[in-house]
A and B are shown apart, each in its own frame.
Chain A
Amino acid sequence: MKDKEIFERICSGDEKTLEFLYKKYYRMMTKMVISNSGSEQEAKDIYQDALVVFWQKAVSGNLVLTSKISTYIYSICQNLWRKELDRKKRLSNEEKDSIEYIEHDKEERAKIINKCIHQLGDTCKKILMYYYFDGMSMQDIADDLGFANTNTAKTKKYKCKKKLDELVKSQYTESDFLD
């Protein structure tokens, strides 16, 4: 498969092609991290994160590719790994405790929301993810999930978000989130 075809498929939201891409450049991308003092697990994580960034930009239509896909992903990997190394450096300094506390707090709240998201139905989950992460248009969401039109998709998205809002609020006290 050539770059153009891969990119078109990714832009249309084909997750299988993302898997193909992952496999294709796995060695090349992870090698960069490993040869720059990263572990294999870190390398894998960074590469996955980079692909997710690429996916998000491509699917939302916010990416005009002017280089090879591998070059683009490689540069994302490099940036992410640099950031990670900086973060590690900072963590080794004295500010470690306070940063860890804030990060931990954030992570905990994200976990709570994540749990509630998985209590939603499959369609609701998809609508919210496609809309808020993939940045898909209501038309694309309607097409993908088989809704009659964009208005139906919009109404459905509103209801799903409301449901999530209620779910989170009913299961956890506001102080968990709004402190």
Chain B
Amino acid sequence: MNNFDLIDAYLDNDMNPEELQRFEQQLSSNAELKRELGFQQELIVGIQQARRLELKARLDNVAVGGNSVGQSLNLSKLIAGIVILGLVGWGIYSLYDDETPQEFMPVADANQETVEELIDDQSENVPDAEETPSVAESDIPKDSEALINTEASENPQLKSEESVSEVREVIKPDIKKPETITGFDGAEEIADSLQAPGTIASKKKESNLSTIDVAIDNTRKKYTFHYQFKGGKLFLYGDFSSGLYEILEFNPRNDKTLFLYFQNNYYSLDNTQEKIVRLESVKDRSLIMKLKEARGMN
């Protein structure tokens, strides 16, 4: 056996007691063997270190969710974010509104109105839905005040009361706004087929299902199937990886009604719920039927 073999057997505990004794005697008198042993031991340490680094690199590539974001977000940033979102939303809202008077006038179709009723303003609210109604209703006055101030500095004759009434006017014509787009899209669909309005409605819903920001957090052990709304965002707690989920929105402008569809069940969501609560499934059969219809499952 050469030195390499001897040392390998020694380090792997592959020696019987006699061989071990002989090796240890040799070791005390043979400097070369001793050095070689040191080298072999260093190789093993190197292998161990390489494996350690390999495992750590693997862990490094694991996305650890929004934890670090949660830690780094402070309250002021959150508030600033909400204010900016409100402003952007209001901007989109008012821009969109400017176009409606030209468009909604020619369209007023009976079919479309039934679709409208079923959809409850779903399809047209995409821009609004980016900002939740609560933002539109509660934040607009604040935001408009900010805008008023800037406008007032440029045009001193503008008064805040006027601008408030402008805001109200902005909301009013928007009630008909859905009709225009519904009519427009619906007309195309009806031209191709004889689908019932319900079907059209459900198609529209599908295209507007996810106007709500959703975040999933499965790191909280206590919450296995829960939700909450925070800053207009929906947080789902638990393991939602086992299937696809859908958020169904109704009446996005006024009283928004939300449902979660997950694994063949519907769960009602209260967008004012800021506490973490358990998801409760919808039991009402007729409501389930309607929800199915809305999802186009009939």
Contact = CB atoms under 8 A, between A and B. Distances in A.
Interface of A: 15, 18-19, 22-24, 26-27, 30, 34, 40, 48-49, 51-52, 55, 109-110, 112-114, 116-118, 125, 128-129, 132-134, 158, 161-162, 164-165, 168, 174, 177-178
Interface residues of B, number: 32
Determine chain B's interface SS by DSSP, over half rule: helix
Contacts, number: 95
Interface in B151-187: none
Contacts of B54: 129
Interface string B34-77: 01001110111111111111111011101111011001000000
Given A27-B219, A162-B4, A48 B49 contact: no
Contacts of B58: 15, 18-19
Nearest to A45: B56
A133 B43 contact: no
A165 B62 contact: no
A114 B59 contact: no
Q: Which 9 A-B pairs have the closest CB atoms?
A: A113-B46, A133-B51, A129-B51, A26-B64, A133-B48, A132-B47, A117-B50, A48-B56, A27-B67
A165 B8 CA distance: 11
Nearest to A27: B67
A132 B35 CA distance: 20
Contacts of B56: 48-49, 52
A174 B32 CA distance: 12
Which of A34, A134, A178 is most buried by chain B, counting CB atoms within 10 A of its CB?
Answer: A178
